[in-house]
Chains A and B, each alone.
Chain A
Amino acid sequence: MSLADLGLHMVALLVYPGLATSILFGALAEAAFAFVRGPGGLGEVVAATLVRLRLAVTAAGAAELAAALLAVLASAQLAAPFNPVSPLERNLLVAAVALIAAAWLAWARGWRASGPALALVTQACWLVALVGPALVSQTLRPQALGAMAVPAQLPLKVGSAVLYLVCLPGVLQLLPDLTPGAGPEREAQAAGGRLLLWLPMCGLFASLFLPPASADVLGTVRFVAVCGAAAAAAIGLGAGLAGRAVPAGHYLRVAVPLAGLVLGAAAVTSVVS
C-alpha cells in the first residue's frame, strides 16, 4: 500500500461513499420518513428534519462519535461505483460487525425496556440474510456476492433479499419499540442515531443482492436508485407498522420464521451445489 492508497481510503471514509455521502443520503431518508409518518408539508418537514439533525449533532457524545466512525467504516465496504477502496479490500464481515456495533452505540442513550430483546432478534435475522448467501458462495466480498448468479442459488438469494428488507425497519430503529419516544428531543435523538446508518444499510442491499453497478454515470444512478428503493421499503414498512400500532411480537412472527426458511434454504443449496 502506498500513500496514494491511504489518501484514497481517506476519501472513501470522509467523502464517498463515507461520511459526506452518508449524511446526504441519511438526511434525505430522514426527511422522507418524517414526511410519510407525520402531518405537514414537504418544506415544513425538511426544515424540521434539519433542526432535529442539528440538535442531535450538537448533543452527540463519545458513544455517538464511535458509532459514526463505525458507520463510515461500513460505508467504505459497499460495492458502490467509483468506491476508492479496492474490491479486494472490502469485507462483508467488517461491514456487518461495524453496523451492529454502530446501531447499539447510537441507540444506547434512549432505549426502552422492551427494546434490547427486539433489537437483538432483528439483528440476528438480518445477519442470517447477510451470511446465508456468503456461506453458499464461500466468499465475503460484497461485489462477488452481488455478481453471483448461479440458478441453484437464486431462491436463496431472493429469500435473503426479502428477509433483509423485512429486517431493515428493525435494524434502522424505525419501529415504535425501538425509538426513544415522542417529543422533539427524543425524536432528534432517534434521527441522529439513524442518520449515518441509512446509506450502509441500504447500500449493502444493493451490493449483495444485485449485480455490481458499472463505474459510470448510469451505474451510479442505478446504485443510488436501488439504495433509495431499499430505504423506501424500510420507511413504508416502518411507518405502516407504527401507524397501525402493530405489536413488536407480530413483526417478529414474520421475521423469525423467514430467517429459519433462509437458513434451511442455505443448508439445502449448500448440499445441492
Chain B
Amino acid sequence: MITARAPVAQPVPSRTGIGLGVAGAVAVAAAVLAPWTGLGGQVGLTPPGRVMLAAMAVGLGLAAAVSPRRAGCWEALAAGLAALGAAAVLSALTDVLAVAAAVVLVGFAQATRPGRAALAAGLRGPAFGAALLGVGWTLARLPGAAGRTGALCLGLGLAAVAGLVPYLAVVHRDEPAGSPYLPWTAFFGPAVALSLPARFLAGLSLDEGTVLGATLVGLGLLNLAWGTIGAWRTGSDAEAWRCSFLADWGLVLVGLGLFRPDALAAAYLALLSLVLVRLPLALAARPVPEGEQARLAGPFGGLAVVLLAGAAPFSGFPVRLLLVQAATAVAWPLALPLVAGMLLWVAHAGRLARTLGPLQGRTAAGFWLVVACSLALGLLPGVLRAAAGL
C-alpha cells in the first residue's frame, strides 16, 4: 500500500518523509515499551494489538515485495515506519477521545499524500468516524436511551473509520492500489478494530453492550452481503477487490459483536488474514485493460483461487469454522446468512485471482511468502490465539 501509493519512484525521501519515519519508529517503540514506563495502565498495546502490530510490519514487507509498482527503498522504509507508528498509536491509546483525535490526525496525514482525491474528500471518512466515536463515547456513559444511542454511534463510528458500508469512499477504476479506502480498510482499521471495542466495553452497561453487539452484528451481515455480492457482480476489478475487503470485514464485525471467545478469536484471525494475505494480494493486482480477457496466471492462479475462497488449509478456514460455531451457540438462525455469505464467497475468488496477472522474480517470491503466511494462519490458529491470549 505504501510503496504502491507513491506515484513516482523517489530514491531519497524528503526531509518530511524522514521525519515521519523517525516519528513512526519512536511511536512503535513507545507503544511496545509502554508497560515498562509506568504509564502501562493509561497507554499500551493489548496482547492481540501486539500481535497485530507485528503482523502489520510483516504485511508491509509483503506488500512492498508483491507490488508491481516500485518506489525508492528508503522512501518505502520511511513511509512504512510512519504508517506502522500511526497504527501503533491508534492501538495503544486507551482514551476513546484520544483515539478519535488520532484518527483525524492520521486521516489528515493520509489525505495529504499525492493522489486524485482532494484533501477534504480524503479526510471526510476518518473525520466523520472520529466524530461518531467522540459523540458515541460521550453519550454511551449516560443512562437510558442516550446511552443506547451512544452505543449505536460507537458501532457506526468503527465502521466509518474502517471505510465500510454505509460509509464507502470512491474507488478509482484504473488504480486499485491508489484508492483512498485501502489504508483505512486494510491497515489502520484493523488496528482500531482490535483494540477499541475492548476499551468501549469496559465503560458500557449490559444494555448498551447489547446494543453495540447488535449494531456490529448487523453491520457485519450487511458488509458480508454487500461484499460477496458486489465482488461477484461489479464490472470493475478495483471495486471487486474493495468488496472482497468488505466481505472480510463482515466476518470481523460479526465476530466482534457476538462477544464470545470463539467469535473474538475468529475476528482476530480474520483481521490478521486481511493484513497478511488480502492486502498484499490486492496490491499485486493490476487492472485488466478494457476489451481484454483476464486469465488465471499459470500455477499461481489455481492456488490464489483456493486461498481467496477461504478453503482449508488456508487462513480463511479457521475463521469460518470458529464463527459458525459461535453463531450457532448464540442463535442458530444467525449461522444461516453467514453460511450463505461464505458459499457466495467462492463466486468471486476466481475473478480476483485473475487480476493477479503474471508474477515473476520479486513479485513471485512475494506471492509464495503470502501463501506461506496464509498457510501458517490456517494451520496454526491455536498458536496465534495463545499469543494474543484469546
Question: A residues engaging B (CB < 8 A)?
Answer: 1-3, 6, 9, 61-63, 66, 69-70, 73, 91, 93-94, 97-98, 100-101, 104-105, 108, 116-117, 120-121, 124, 134-135, 138-140
Across-interface contacts of A97 in B (CB, < 8 A): 89, 93, 98, 101-102, 105
A66 close to B127 (CB less than 8 A): yes
Known: A93-B98, A138-B39. A63 touches B123 (CB 8 A): yes
Q: A62-B124, A93-B95 are in contact. Are A98 and B141 (CB under 8 A)?
A: no
Contacts of B139 in A (CB 8 A): 6
**Measured between alpha carbons, how far is A2 from B142 in the docked complex, in Å?**
6
A63 touches B19 (CB 8 A): no
Q: Do A63 and B16 have beta carbons less than 8 Å apart?
A: no
Residues of A within 8 A of B117 (CB): none
What's the minimum C-beta distance from A33 to chain B, rounded to whole angstroms? 25
Q: Does B38 contact A (CB under 8 A)?
A: yes
Does A91 lie within 8 Å of B124, measured CB to CB? no
Count residues on chain B whose CB falls below 8 Å from chain A CBs. Answer: 36
Tell me the minimal C-beta distance from A63 to chain B in angstroms.
6
List of 8 A-B pairs having minimum Cβ-Cβ separation, nearest first: A138-B38, A101-B105, A1-B141, A98-B101, A117-B15, A97-B101, A120-B19, A116-B16
For the complex, give the distance between the alpha carbons of A119 and B55 in Å: 31
Chain A CB within 8 A of B143 CB: yes
Q: Does B177 contact A (CB under 8 A)?
A: no
Q: List 21 A-B residue pairs with CB atoms under 8 Å apart, sorted by A's residue number.
A: A1-B141, A1-B142, A3-B142, A6-B146, A69-B131, A70-B101, A70-B104, A91-B97, A94-B97, A97-B89, A97-B101, A97-B102, A98-B97, A98-B101, A100-B105, A101-B105, A101-B108, A108-B108, A117-B15, A121-B19, A138-B37
User: For B15, what are the chain A residues with a Cβ–Cβ distance below 8 Å?
Assistant: 117
Residues of B at the A interface (CB closer than 8 Å) are: 14-16, 19-20, 23, 37-39, 42-43, 89, 93, 95, 97-98, 101-102, 104-105, 108-109, 112, 119-120, 123-124, 127, 131, 134, 138-139, 141-143, 146
Measured between beta carbons, the chain B residues less than 8 angstroms from A66 are 104, 123, 127
- Distance in angstroms from A36 CB to nearest chain B CB is 30
B120 touches A120 (CB 8 A): no
Measured between beta carbons, the chain B residues less than 8 angstroms from A62 are 120, 123-124, 127
Using known A-B contacts A66-B104, A94-B95, A116-B16, determine if residue A140 contacts B39 with beta carbons closer than 8 Å. yes
Which residues of chain B come closer than 8 Å to A93, judged between CB atoms?
Answer: 42-43, 93, 95, 98
Most B Cβ at <10 Å: residue of A101, A105, A117, A121: A101
Q: How distant is the Cα of A6 from the Cα of B131 in the complex, in angstroms?
A: 16
A3-B142, A9-B138, A94-B95 provided; 12 other pairs, C-beta below 8 A? Answer: A3-B146, A61-B120, A62-B127, A73-B134, A94-B98, A97-B89, A97-B105, A100-B105, A117-B14, A120-B19, A120-B23, A140-B43
